[in-house]
Amino acid sequence: MNRTLERMRNIGISAHIDSGKTTLTERILYYCKKIHRMHEVKGKEGGGATMDYMELERERGITITSATTNVTWNDHSINIIDTPGHVDFTIEVERSLRVLDGAILVLCSVGGVQSQTLTVDKQLKRYNVPTVAFINKLDRIGANPFKVKDQINDKLGRRAALLQVPVGLEDKFQGLVDLISMKAYYFDGPNGEIIREKEIPPELEDLAWQYREELLDTVSLFSDEVTEAILEDRVSEGLLLRAIRKGTISREFTPILMGSAYRNKGVQLLLDAVVNYLPDPSEVENIALDLDQQEKPVVLKADPSLPCVSYAFKLEEGPYGQLTYIRIYQGSLKKGDELFNTRSRQRFKVGRVVRMHADHMEDIEGAESGDIVALFGVDCASGDTICSPELNYAMTSIYVPEPVISLAIEAADKLSVDRLAKALARFTKEDPTFRMYIDPESRQTIIQGMGELHLDVYVERMRREYRVEVITGRPQVAYRETITARADFDYTHKKQTGGAGQFGRVIGYIEPFDGNYEFVNEVKGGHIPREFIPSCDKGFQSLLKKGQLIGSPIIGVRVVLTDGQFHPVDSSDIAFQMAAQGAFKQAYKKAKPQILEPIMRVVVETPSEFSGNVFGSLNQRRGIIISSIEDGLYSRIEAEVPLSEMFGYSTVLRSMTQGKAEFTMEFLKYGRLPNFLADQLMEEHRQKMESEQKK
């Protein structure tokens, strides 16, 4: 076993907003001697917590982008990846979860398992992340860690048990009893940095033994060794520790710790738990795909002597240039090494390698497998795999969905124009689901993304980080047009205006097609000379960008060119392009065109008592309910709903279910827009065109 690896942890801290995640992170940094003074969230002292470094996050008290920072605890190197808890920032969350090996799930001792806890818990389960739970805020009025423990078992369906019980609660919260060592711990000094070990207070003995028994019972469910030891009455501290570690890594067990980060109590014991129970990088299996062997899966070995395989999970445009955060899965890298980006096929030399600490950094010579570091000046996109040049691997790529909603934006004043361009350039590079383009007709800047909130956050970030006041239009759904019948065309483009004329004739048909576009050339006998065939293709394609119904892109068309005619002098590239355009216009109307709308796959998780209301709300939105899976307390309802009906759904869902339900949605397919809505859209488009013409 590699000693460096054994002493490495890559962890995330997942939590409900307001459960005290940022304060906890701050305390971890302090006890690991990364910072010398503690701040509070929401900038009471004008400082703001260290991890939450973006101004917007500071103001809202939430973390949106993931920063990573490295700390040392008990001779172990811990990389903390800050994971956003909000459902709408999926790509951020998924990328962070991809690179971590373990997580701390923070819960509030008063609020317990809240709806958002369910979301982050689901994310952790989806990525098979071993987890320790931390019940925070034991100093608050109404704190009840025992209730929260039951909720972790019942609502999250985890097999979990307390590893500690509190000494006092609420304003009398003083310390913790450790149920493994059966000792009490107190946290002295101005910042709780001095740990005092004492005997268990007599009044807590019964309680402590009761919960130790519960812990042993739970552990014995998955550990035969512990079961035997209980029967023989020889449960040692080491045995229990090993069993808990094994159960946590195999995700059969979730140890529960507790404390109050704000009152500086319990954080050091939590750090001990991270080291004791969460896996080191070699204990987690990672798989890459070998691009030279038809994407054959290859198990990566966390061995520094092997060729390097790493994954760029986050890009950040900092004050000193572009930073690329990478997780090294195999091999090692150092300054001056040559590496290879398997997506862009580009080789590059490693320049500066840094270890990140929120927003300051430390230069290092190199790093080995298992580690998370940042590189300077690497031209790549997030999600890229970076290898030694002799390898051609890709880490399983994260699926990047097509954007489904767009918004026109413009800078409110001339001074902001440059800053807006800078902001957009950075955001589009950081987040592949966020895109922008300039509409050639309206000259408007259009941003595209995965949902209302997704775009809202970027507009907000432009304001705050780049001081750009932006004016936004109404969110627009990305409609498409398609044809539903075959239609023939026979079109001659002929122009004689003195000098060289233009002549081209095309004959053929268009028909529905299962992909986006296909061009088939069946012209025989040289009726259209070979060099003009691509001109025809180009002409047809140029009209696909804007359909005649509502000006949306056309998909699902096959054009078959069967015959044509040319003129030895007057035929040209442009003449055949024009002929193809004329032909397409002619045939399109006859091909029964239709408007398509994006249909989203919506999943609502709700307490079962509200499932009727949720069914109703989805039905009302032209949704099709596909299934509902119930496990007693909760229902998971899956439906297909048009995107245009989903605006504002989060508010509706919240009020309908007392804030207890949540939903996620992703693009599924394009579906036919019902006639009454299609008519409405066409009318709007006609009016828009008319008013533009008048201008």
Partner 1 sequence: MVRKILSTRSPIKTLEKNIKGGLGPGHLGVFASRKGVGKTACLVQIALDRLFEEKPVIHVSYASRVDYIISWYEEIFKNLASRENLKSEMDIHDRIIRNRVILNFRQEGMKTEQVLKSIEALLGPGRFAARTIIVDGFNFYLPCAEDLALFKKFAADRQLEFWFSCSLKGEDPLFDENGVPFVLKDYLENIDIIITLEHDNGRVRLNLVKDHEQIFSKKLRLELDPQTLLLARVG
> Which chain residues interact with partner 1 by CB under 8 A?
608, 611-613, 615-616, 619, 624-632, 635, 638
| Between 340 and 615, CB nearer to partner 1 | 615
Look at residue 596 and give its three-state secondary structure.
strand
- Please say whether the beta carbons of 127 and 137 come within 8 A: no
Rounded to whole angstroms, how far apart are CA atoms 256 and 158? Answer: 11
Closest distance between partner 1 and the C-beta of residue 638, in Å? 8
Q: In this structure, how many other beta carbons lie within 10 angstroms of the beta carbon of residue 186?
A: 15
| Between 262 and 615, CB nearer to partner 1 | 615
Closest distance between partner 1 and the C-beta of residue 640, in Å? 8
Phi, psi of 28 (to 5 degrees): -60, -45
Rounded to whole angstroms, how far apart are CA atoms 659 and 668? Answer: 26
Closest distance between partner 1 and the C-beta of residue 608, in Å? 7
- Please say whether the beta carbons of 538 and 574 come within 8 A: no
Rounded to whole angstroms, how far apart are CA atoms 76 and 362? Answer: 18
8-state DSSP, 412: S
| Between 525 and 632, CB nearer to partner 1 | 632
| Between 441 and 631, CB nearer to partner 1 | 631
Rounded to whole angstroms, how far apart are CA atoms 536 and 574? Answer: 9
Residues in Cβ contact with 411 at an 8 Å cutoff, skipping those fewer than 6 apart: 417, 419, 420, 468, 469, 470, 471
**What single-letter amino acid sits at 229?**
A
| Between 221 and 629, CB nearer to partner 1 | 629
Closest distance between partner 1 and the C-beta of residue 44, in Å? 45
Closest distance between partner 1 and the C-beta of residue 672, in Å? 9
Closest distance between partner 1 and the C-beta of residue 659, in Å? 19
| Between 157 and 318, CB nearer to partner 1 | 157
| Between 343 and 636, CB nearer to partner 1 | 636
Residues in Cβ contact with 10 at an 8 Å cutoff, skipping those fewer than 6 apart: 78, 79, 81, 99, 100, 101, 102, 281, 327, 370, 372
95, two tokens: 């990328």
Residue ranges with strand state E in 83-181: 102-108, 131-136, 160-162, 164-167, 175-178
Closest distance between partner 1 and the C-beta of residue 153, in Å? 14
355, two tokens: 């270890």
**Segment (H or E) for 628:** strand 624-630
Closest distance between partner 1 and the C-beta of residue 656, in Å? 10
| Between 336 and 612, CB nearer to partner 1 | 612
Closest distance between partner 1 and the C-beta of residue 515, in Å? 16
**Segment (H or E) for 368:** strand 366-368
Closest distance between partner 1 and the C-beta of residue 444, in Å? 35
| Between 500 and 624, CB nearer to partner 1 | 624
- Please say whether the beta carbons of 137 and 143 come within 8 A: yes
Residue 147's nearest CA partner among 132, 174, 122, 166 is 166
